Structure 1
């Protein structure tokens, strides 16, 4: 009974021998693998979330011709010049605040108000004495009735109009021209179009100019750009500068059907479930692969087969020069080994050693080993024949050198 009772206690001892793997040895590696796969999945999700966040981020508040922007496209430099001239500038990003700040002696300045409806624009501009649009669009031109777009550009444009404030501006480079409507004053242009349109037919007075490049921080110092900015915006002691933005837009966009709205509600949970199942399957299958094992190739390619294959490719290409160079390199390596030189000895060294051995001029061997390559089959055959003769001569001289008794005095004395 004692033997039967103690037999189960013996088997755990045998199973814990060094030769038998234990389950405890596999747990750390499996845990590390799970942690690794989980880390990869979390990293992928984080990258995807960051990408979606960046893609869905709205445009920044500091856009082109922003009076508070310091980048190349901003208009901070123009605003500071106006302040130095004693002009009071108020920057508003809300149209309601901008309208409340306007009085009868105020110039309203803004870039193309693409975020406002026509009614909101009319309400904003009504109280102002002057309205200056620093950039415009075709829709704005049609809404104001001030003119149309004109083709072409002008490398240099002068005021060429009777507007007094433009008399000292000088020349500018107009990137966009307009065709004025009847009764609209056109400045800085010619018969084909003008860069500045001044409309005094209605109140408030409206001025349109394409100043995206003219009044930016990067190009304000060029030509008469700064002078034109002072002439347009410095006519009153106070300026209300309105900056359009999507946050202040009154345009109510109709919802657009998207892929998410057109698909059934169960599609999104199904996709998430498939992703989770794919990650679980990857972790499960990843445990079944062991370490990489080096295996011998089932086919052994002989060196002679490789040599014949390369020879056939060279013959098919009819590249005599390449074949001749290969013959020379082979002869050079074999001669270097037979003459006791380094395997990578140059052609000049091999030619010098072979010349000393064969007692022939060095120039002949240097031409043979490093001279011009043949460009046809006849020259290739002649070069191969001469290289073979050189190797044969060196072999013969090597055998004769070893069999000459004068070169082995000790061996000859022993034989006598």
Structure 2
């Protein structure tokens, strides 16, 4: 009774201990996941701050331009970094400033022209065909240079003082525009005078970035172009500045109003069906069967089926299988012995004719119930004879049933 009482008393404490271990394990897993998320966010923020976008004046990565901004500051140029249109307009309001702008696909033509008109000089550091069409009327993109150093080959003072560079994108100039750095059928720099200033187009990715600034005359050209005025406004356009009207309808606008409720209804129905027909989770529960069937009743049922089907051959096979299994164990042959090996071993041990034993155990096919009964009798007689040879003390005389 004391052992039972101790086991009963220990069971709740063991259950609490196991529950405490499970809770601790899940808490540790959750803490690790939270820590990994925080670390990923921190690393992502650091990478975003150091790398940012291409030609970003605050980026220290290979494609950023922080080195150029530092050099301009050392030359007395005040660099204003603007990331929205309002900041650009405020910085250009006093006048006499240079505007460096990358491609601005989010701005409409009117907005881009209005913004650049407020600057004295405009340097397009990543121009596309639309920007060239608007600000350097008649000019267009032409391709990419062959990647070799090229001399200015023009009368632009800033280019001549800088010397050779390796242009990236090249352009086709309009009539009246000054074209420098001829290569590959195009030019690496375009300049066109306008009222109160000028517009310059150059591929800043190949000249202004931190990775390439120290090569050839890149640094000198960048400082000469961007440092003509005491103030440089560096504008990085973003999608928040867009003034383009939505012209195409969205997918939600094209969808009939009844589609969304139907989708929600289908999802709800699928979830309900999954819960209804899904597997029930939880520990297995032992359930008592309503009926216990004894092995003897199963055997008798099979015998009645064989008798009803009048399948004497099948019944004989079952009798022989049972006898062969018992003889194999009795003669020490093991479960891997074949029927022929068991028959030969039984004939040798009992002294019976080998052909007769094989006929009893393998070859003879009963055709009627009488032959099946006779075969059963001979099987039992053979098994009893083998047992008498192997274990003579354990053999009991067979009782005749009425």
TM-score bucket (shorter structure): 0.5 to 0.7
Correspondent of 1:261 among 253, 264, 278: 253
**Secondary structure in 1 matching 2:73:** helix
Rounded to whole Å, the distance in 2 between the matches of 1:194 and 1:72 is: 25
Give the deviation of 1:151 after TM superposition. 4.0
Whole-Å separation in 1 of the counterparts to 2:59 and 2:184: 36
Q: Distance in 1 between matches of 2:167 and 2:216?
A: 11
- The runs of 5 or more residues in structure 1 that have no matched partner are 1-49, 51-59, 292-416
Q: Are 2:238 and 1:245 equivalent residues in the alignment?
A: yes
Pick closer, same or farther for the CA change 1:287–1:114 going to 2, 3 Å.
closer
Deviations 1:39-85 (A, max 9, x none): xxxxxxxxxxx9xxxxxxxxx89432121223332221211111111
Report 1:21-100 matches (<5 A).
62-100=52-90
Taking a change above 3 Å as real, the CA distance of residues 288 and 111 of structure 1, as seen in their structure-2 partners, is: closer
d(CA) in 1 for partners of 2:184 and 2:175?
A: 14
What is the correspondence of 1:50-199 to structure 2 with a 5 Å cutoff? 62-102=52-92, 103-144=94-135, 145=137, 147-154=139-146, 155-190=148-183, 192-199=185-192
Q: Which residue number in structure 2 is paired with residue 319 of structure 1?
A: none
> Equivalent of 1:272, from 242, 264, 273?
264
**Shift in Å at residue 202 of structure 1?**
4.1
After superposition, residues 197-212 of structure 1 pair within 5 angstroms as: 197-212=190-205
Q: Which secondary structure state, in structure 2, belongs to the residue aligned with residue 174 of structure 1?
A: coil
Give the Cα separation in 1 of the matches to 2:227 and 2:177. 21
Asked whether the 8 Å contact 1:134–1:210 carries over to 2, the reply is yes
Q: Could you give the per-residue CA deviations for residues 332-381 of structure 1, whole angstroms, max 9, x where no partner exists?
A: xxxxxxxxxxxxxxxxxxxxxxxxxxxxxxxxxxxxxxxxxxxxxxxxxx
How many corresponding residue pairs? 268
Does the residue aligned with 1:97 lie in a helix, a strand or coil?
A: helix
Output the CA distance in 2 between the equivalents of 1:95 and 1:263: 35
Segments of 5+ residues of structure 2 without an aligned counterpart are: 1-36, 38-47, 285-402
Mark the CA change 1:151 to 1:125 in structure 2 (over 3 Å): closer, same or farther: closer
1:175-216 residue CA offsets vs partner (Å, 9 max, x unmatched): 211121111111111582211101014443100111123212
Report if aligned partners of 1:146, 1:199 keep a CA contact under 8 Å in 2. Answer: no
Q: Which residue of structure 2 aligns with residue 281 of structure 1?
A: 273
* TM-score normalised by L of structure 1: 0.52
Cα distance in structure 2, aligned partners of 1:287 and 1:182: 78
Q: What displacement does 1:288 show? A: 6.3
Kindly report which structure 2 residues correspond to 1:315-326, keeping only aligned pairs within 5 A, or say none. Answer: none
Q: Would the aligned equivalents of 1:146 and 1:184 in 2 still touch at CA under 8 Å?
A: no
Q: Deviations over 1:241-284 (max 9, x none)?
A: 122111112112225231x4333334333333433443443344
CA distance change for structure 1 residues 223 and 138 in 2, over 3 Å: closer, same or farther?
Answer: same
Measured in 1, the distance between the counterparts of 2:117 and 2:275 equals 68
CA distance in 2, matches of 1:152, 1:94: 30
Q: Identify if the C-alpha distance between structure 1 residues 87 and 138 changes in structure 2 by more than 3 Å, giving closer, same or farther.
A: same
The verdict on how the C-alpha distance between 1:284 and 1:237 changes in structure 2, with shifts beyond 3 A counting, is same
1:141 partner SS? helix
Secondary structure at the aligned position of 1:168 is classed as helix
Q: 1:183 to 1:92 in 2, by over 3 A?
A: same
- The question of 1:228 aligning with 2:218 is answered no
**For residues 279 and 199 of structure 1, do their structure 2 counterparts lie closer, same or farther at Cα, with a shift above 3 Å needed?**
same
Q: Report which of the two structures shows the higher radius of gyration computed on alpha carbons.
A: 2
Map of 2:393 onto structure 1: none
Query: Structure 1's 200 and 282: CA in aligned 2 closer, same or farther, altered over 3 A?
Result: same
* Contact 1:184-1:201 within 8 A present in 2 as well: no
Where 2:263 maps in the other structure, the secondary structure is helix
> Is the partner of 2:244 in helix, strand or coil?
coil
Contact 2:166 2:206 in 1 (8 A): no
Instruction: Judge conservation of contact 2:56–2:65 (CA < 8 Å) in 1.
Output: yes
2:400 corresponding residue in structure 1 = none
For 2:138 and 2:112, the matched residues in 1 are separated by 15
TM-score (norm 2): 0.54
**Do the aligned partners of 2:168 and 2:205 also contact (CA within 8 Å) in 1?**
no
